């Protein structure tokens, strides 16, 4: 079973981007730990990042077309703005697990609304990079 792990804008900068909020791990560090954990769960991963909203839409559609087991999605700031990503999640059967490194609810008010969360199967937020591994555990149990 394949799990798509989709990362949105500015997550390519993890490691140097506001480390007091997002931690010191790079996306490659996180991807390596996810691959190790996925192996123990018997899952295949397809891990991607883009700064472009439409890529996230295309990849959610692709995950569905390829009958992926689940999608783990950190849509970055598009979480709070993208009706297109929301609609893509609603348009497909594949379960989407929303992940955030930080807890958007304890930050600026503009982060409180999640168009991803309104369509996702569930959300894991506020546990830093560990959240991606928790999302894998959740995906394995779906």
* Binding residues for ligand DQA (CB under 6 A): 10, 74, 76-77, 79, 100-102, 104, 111
CB 98 within 8 A of CB 35: no
Q: Is 100 a catalytic residue?
A: yes
Q: Which two tokens stand for residue 124?
A: 């894991």
Nearer to ligand DQA, 56 or 101 (CB): 101
Q: How near is the Cβ of 67 to ligand DQA at its closest, in Å?
A: 27
User: Distance (Å, rounded) from C-alpha 60 to C-alpha 62?
Assistant: 5
Q: Check the annotation: does 12 bind a ligand.
A: no
| Residue entry with tokens 């928790």 | 134
- Residue 118 Cβ, how far from ligand DQA at the closest point, in Å? 15
How far is it between the farthest Cα atoms of the chain? 39
Nearer to ligand DQA, 65 or 73 (CB): 73
Determine whether 22 is an active site residue.
Answer: yes
55 carries a ligand binding annotation: no
What minimum distance in Å lies between the beta carbon of 100 and ligand DQA?
Answer: 4
* Other Cβ atoms within 10 Å of 87 Cβ, number: 13
Handedness of CA 123, 127, 131, 137 (dihedral sign): negative
Which residues are annotated binding-site positions for substrate?
74, 80, 87, 101-102, 111
Which residues are annotated binding-site positions?
74, 80, 87, 101-102, 111
């Amino acid at each position: 079973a394949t799990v798509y792990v989709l990362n949105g804008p500015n997550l390519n900068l993890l490691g140097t981007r506001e480390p007091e909020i997002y931690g010191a791990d790079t996306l490659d560090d996180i991807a390596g730990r996810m691959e190790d954990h996925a192996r123990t769960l018997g899952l295949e991963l397809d891990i991607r990042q883009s700064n472009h909203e439409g890529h996230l839409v295309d990849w959610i559609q692709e995950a569905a077309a390829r009958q992926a087991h689940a999608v783990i999605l950190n849509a970055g700031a598009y979480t709070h703005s993208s009706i297109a990503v929301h609609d893509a999640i609603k348009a497909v059967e594949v379960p989407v697990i929303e992940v955030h490194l930080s807890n958007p609810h304890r930050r600026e008010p503009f982060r409180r609304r999640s168009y991803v969360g309104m369509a996702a199967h569930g959300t894991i937020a506020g546990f830093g990079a560990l959240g991606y591994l928790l999302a894998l555990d959740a995906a394995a149990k779906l």
